[in-house]
Amino acid sequence: MMPFFMQVANSEVHITFDDKEGRDVYRHSTSHIMAHAVKELFPDAKLAIGPAIEDGFYYDFDYHRHFTPEDLIMIEERMREIIKADRPFVRKEIDREEAISYFKSREEPYKIQLIEEIKDKSVSLYQEGDFVDLCLGPHIPSTGKVKTFKLLSVAGAYWRGDERNRMLQRIYGTSFSKEEDLEAYLKKLEEIKKRDHRNIGRELGLFSINEETGAGLILWHPRGALIRKTIEDFWREEHYRWDYDLVYSPHIAKLDLWKKSGHIDFYRENMYSPMEIDNIDYELKPMNCPFHIMIYKSEIRSYRNLPIRYAELGTVYRYERSGVLHGLLRVRGFTQDDAHIFCREDQLPDEIQRVLDFTVFVLKTFGFHEYDIFLSTRPEEYVGTLENWEKATSALKMAIEKKGLSYRNDIGAGVFYGPKIDIKVKDAIGRAWQCSTIQVDFNLPERFDITYRGEDGKEHQPIMIHRALMGSLERFFGVLIEHYAGAFPLWLSPVQVRVLSITDSQMDYARKIKDELRSIGIRTEADLRNEKIGLKIREGSIEKIPYLLIIGEKEKKGNTVNVRKRGGENLGEMTLPEIIERLKKEIEEKL
Q: 346 an active-site residue?
A: no
* pLDDT for 357: 94
Q: Give the predicted TM-score (pTM) of the model.
A: 0.87
Catalytic residue, from 23, 197, 263, 336: name it: 336
pLDDT tens digit sequence for 487-496: 999 999 999 9
Question: Is 466 known to be catalytic?
Answer: yes
pLDDT category, 381, cuts 50, 70, 90? confident
Decide if 49 contacts 11 (C-beta within 8 A): no
pLDDT at 12 over 70: no
Q: Which of 36, 39, 263, 420 is catalytic?
A: 420
Q: Rounded to whole angstroms, how far apart are CA atoms 568 and 566?
A: 5
Q: How far apart are CA 84 and CA 114, in angstroms?
A: 31
Strands 280-284 and 275-277: antiparallel
Is residue 340 annotated as a catalytic residue, yes or no? Answer: yes
The pLDDT, as a whole number, for residue 13 is 60
Write down the pLDDT at residue 265: 86
How many CA atoms lie less than 13 Å away from 587 in the CB half-sphere? 21
CA-to-CA distance for 177 and 25, rounded, in angstroms? 12
Integer distance in angstroms from the first to the last C-alpha of the chain? 43
Q: Which of 133, 338, 422, 441 is labelled catalytic?
A: 338
Q: Is 260 a catalytic residue?
A: no
Question: Across residues 546-560, what is the average pLDDT?
Answer: 95
Contact predicate 536/584, CB 8 Å: no
- Is a pLDDT exceeding 80 seen at residue 7? no
Is 188 labeled as catalytic in the residue annotation?
no
pLDDT tens, residue by residue, 166-217: 999 999 999 999 999 999 999 999 999 999 999 999 999 999 999 899 999 9
pLDDT bucket at 9, cuts 50 / 70 / 90: very low
What is the rounded average pLDDT for all residues in the chain? 93
β-partners of residue 418 are 415
Domains in the chain: boundaries? 4-194, 202-484, 497-588
> What's the pLDDT tens digit per position in 300-344?
999 999 999 999 999 999 998 877 889 999 999 999 999 999 999
Asked if the peptide bond before residue 138 counts as cis, ω within 30 degrees of 0, the response is yes
491: left (phi over 0), alpha (psi -120 to 50) or beta: alpha
Name the amino acid, one letter, at 472.
S
CA–CA separation, 129 vs 103, rounded Å? 17
Tens-place pLDDT, residues 406-458 = 999 999 988 888 899 999 999 999 999 999 999 999 889 999 999 999 999 99
CA 437 to chain centre: 13
Catalytic residue flag (residue 289): yes
pLDDT value of residue 415: 83
Which of 2, 10, 17, 32 shows the shortest CA–CA distance to 139? 32
**From the candidates 135, 289, 343, 435, which is the catalytic residue?**
289
pLDDT computed for residue 423 by the predictor: 94
- The pLDDT-based confidence of 103 (bands split at 50, 70, 90) is very high
The CATH number that domain 4-194 falls under is 3.30.980.10
Determine the Cα–Cα distance for residues 245 and 549; give it in Å rounded to an integer.
41
Name the active-site residue from 32, 91, 195, 340.
Answer: 340
CATH fold for domain 202-484? BirA Bifunctional Protein; domain 2 (3.30.930)
Among 466, 483, 536, 544, which one carries the catalytic annotation?
Answer: 466
Which of the four pLDDT bands, split at 50, 70 and 90, describes residue 119?
confident
Annotated catalytic residue: which of 32, 170, 301, 318?
A: 318
Question: Is there a catalytic annotation at residue 434?
Answer: no
- The CATH superfamily assigned to 497-588 is Anticodon-binding domain (3.40.50.800)
Strand partners, 219: 208
